[in-house]
A and B are shown apart, each in its own frame.
Chain A
Amino acid sequence: MRAILGWGARLAGSWSENKGGPWGPSGDGGSGGEGGGGGDGPRSPWGQPPRRRRPIGAPGNIASFEDFWKKSRDRFGGRFPQQDGKPYWLYGLAVFLLLWVIFTSFHVIGPQERGVVTLFGRYSRTLGSGVGMTLPSPIERVDKIDVGQIRSIDIPAGDPNRQNLIITGDSNIIDVAYTVRWSIRDPQLYLYSLDNPDATIGEVAESAMRAIMATVSLDDAIGSGRSDVEQRAGLLMQQMLDRYGAGVRIEGLAIKQSDPPEAVIDAFKRVSAAQQSAQGDINNARTYALQITARAQGDATAFDKVYAQYKLAPEVTRRRLYYETMERVLSKVDKTVVEAPGITPYLALPAVQKPAPEGAAK
């Protein structure tokens, strides 16, 4: 159908071209564009000078239109105008067909693209990157598919604050957000296997994630087991999609967020607070342990040193230590020497006690 329209537009274009009317290159837009200027035979098809372009509706237009009409009447009333025995429109047709064939036979396939070629709707082959050649348009068609691009789907889609609650294997509820990255592995499978493949991938992702989450415990799901869940869900997705023949490769599944639901998050925070305080207790105990053992070792070593000296000269060392200690002790305290035998010393206890508060006050 496009071809017919194009042909008509081209014909109209070639007629007006002859007259130099306003329907020159400016008027022959649309699909007839490639061949629109081709009606002039020996002249270049694009030779229409720009100065001839006038806006439609300008006063000159009426004159041109009358001119065109007169000539058209001449043409249809008599023979087709000819040059070298061939009608102009045949040249136009030839040029148009040539351009059509060129434009629809060569296809530039980008480095990440594949071109899926169908011959009258039937899959024929897949073009790699570079310039590919096919039969012209109505016969063969090319659908370009970007196989290098990694697409991603966010679940839950839309509002990031919306909770996506999933039940874990131990009947707890968690709020999970994740991203699926995928690419097209087999362009023809991708095109022909599934009705709406993109939506299917999203649904499969949701199903797979829930199936895997139903096998793990809450602690694994929000903590250490995440990467395992990601991997298993990705694998399960791939299996399901392969079963559909989707031609899609799951590049990876990433859990962005895996938390307890808002309603219970406080209780979870209390657990981590308990962990902190337990760790604090243990740290304090370790500090105490270090102190007390170090002190024991220090004391023991000191004793060993003194004992080593003592061993060399027991009596002298013992006396020396005794006097030194007594010296230190007695030099700092009040002393009273009482001549003991036969006398019962009178001990003025209040007097002894009296200086005590003074001393404390100092």
Chain B
Amino acid sequence: MSRILRNPISLAFLAILVLIVAGSTFATVPETKQAVIVRFGQPVRVVNAYHPGQDFGGTGAGLIARYPFVEQLVWIDKRILNVDMDSQQVLSTDQQRLQVDAFARYRIVDPVRMYVSARTTDRVSDALKPILSSAIRNELGKRPFAALLSPERGQLMTNIRNAMNGFAHRYGAEVIDVRIKRADLPEGSTTDSAYQRMRTAREQEAGSIRAQGYKQAQIIRADADAEAASIYAEAYGKDPDFYDFYRAMQSYETTFSPNAAEGQPPQGKTTIILSPENDYLREFRGRK
């Protein structure tokens, strides 16, 4: 025995053997994984299983031991996983089409059931994908187009989630959340008609803005005219007789002066034929 221990080659051999046994006995379970311990293909127990509300550090993660060679570890993700649905067309009750792209988030809550039914999380995702598609098609197909865009989407999503959960349960999975990532009008005629509607709506708006502008401008002008009239009335109303005279004087000057209007060429020559009876020539006639 001591000879074996002294021989470095046999020593190394022994060390490797010990390492192999230790390696298949002990394992470290990280926080992100659940471990199903399988004995001869039969799941016997779960380490670090998901429990809601557990803080990290208080879970079953860490160093574990199992029977070497007899028991195998199967790793199952403990994190929240993603199912991405392929984009698909949904028909609303009023025969409008909508291109919908959605995703669901789930986590494995029953690793043993999941191991028995699907083995890997990829298969769970593959199985959930068509369920998500059909749940979305069913739920959205029950509603009119306008409702698909409205804030009550929240309730819609809860319904889809519940519908999916009944199925996901079989895979030991729990759907946490279903969200519509995109909801677009399909390319082609639907989009074009939407664009057409937007265009006409804009043109209507443009027309109404122009009309409103015209209306306001007219009101402003009329108000100003009215104000000016009231200013004149107030001033001239004090003595209508004098106003008549005063305004007549101004008017004569404007009418008979060749260049009365400033900056404009004379509008024509004026010839005045006065009768001596004219009041202006009263003094010219001499006192009688």
What is A's interface to B at a CB cutoff of 8 Å?
4, 76, 118-125, 165, 167, 169, 171-173, 188-189, 191-196, 199-200, 203-204, 206-207, 210-211, 214-215, 218, 240, 243-245, 260-261, 263-264, 266-268, 270-271, 273-275, 277-282, 284-286, 288-290, 292-293, 295-297, 299-301, 303-304, 306-307, 310, 314, 318, 321-323, 325-326, 328-330, 332-341, 345, 347, 352, 355-356, 358-360
B275 located at the interface, meaning its Cβ lies under 8 Å from any Cβ of chain A in the complex: yes
B249 with A321: CB separation less than 8 A: yes
B234 with A300: CB separation less than 8 A: yes
Q: How many residues of B contact A (CB 8 A)?
A: 95
Give A25 Cβ to nearest chain B Cβ, in Å.
Answer: 24
Total A-B Cβ pairs within 8 A: 283
The chain B residue with its CB closest to the CB of A324 is B249
A206 with B181: CB separation less than 8 A: yes
- CB contacts (< 8 Å) of A189 on chain B: these are 56
Our pick among A199, A286, A338, A358 for the contact of B274 (Cβ within 8 Å) is: A338
Q: Which of B13-59 contact A (CB under 8 A)?
A: 19, 28-32, 56-57, 59
A192 with B31: CB separation less than 8 A: yes
B180 with A293: CB separation less than 8 A: no
- CB contacts (< 8 Å) of A355 on chain B: these are 269, 271
- Could you jot down 15 A-B contacts, CB within 8 Å? A119-B62, A173-B195, A189-B56, A210-B181, A215-B150, A271-B205, A271-B209, A281-B216, A281-B217, A296-B228, A307-B242, A310-B239, A329-B253, A330-B256, A333-B271
Complex CA gap A279/B217 in Å reads: 9
B214 located at the interface, meaning its Cβ lies under 8 Å from any Cβ of chain A in the complex: yes
B69 located at the interface, meaning its Cβ lies under 8 Å from any Cβ of chain A in the complex: no
Give B162 Cβ to nearest chain A Cβ, in Å.
Answer: 16
Given A278-B209, A289-B223, is A261 in contact with B239 using a C-beta cutoff of 8 Å?
no
Give A342 Cβ to nearest chain B Cβ, in Å.
Answer: 12
Given A167-B185, A285-B220, is A303 in contact with B246 using a C-beta cutoff of 8 Å?
yes
Give B253 Cβ to nearest chain A Cβ, in Å.
Answer: 6
Complex CA gap A2/B275 in Å reads: 133
Complex CA gap A339/B273 in Å reads: 10
A285 with B31: CB separation less than 8 A: no
Give A18 Cβ to nearest chain B Cβ, in Å.
Answer: 16
Our pick among B80, B146, B180 for the contact of A171 (Cβ within 8 Å) is: B146
- CB contacts (< 8 Å) of A310 on chain B: these are 239, 242
- CB contacts (< 8 Å) of B220 on chain A: these are 282, 285-286, 288-289
B126 located at the interface, meaning its Cβ lies under 8 Å from any Cβ of chain A in the complex: no
- CB contacts (< 8 Å) of B274 on chain A: these are 335-338
- CB contacts (< 8 Å) of B185 on chain A: these are 167, 173
Q: A119-B62, A330-B280 are in contact. List 20 more A-B contacts (CB 8 A).
A: A120-B28, A123-B59, A173-B198, A210-B181, A244-B177, A245-B80, A264-B199, A274-B207, A274-B210, A278-B213, A281-B213, A290-B224, A296-B229, A300-B236, A303-B246, A304-B235, A321-B245, A323-B280, A330-B272, A334-B271
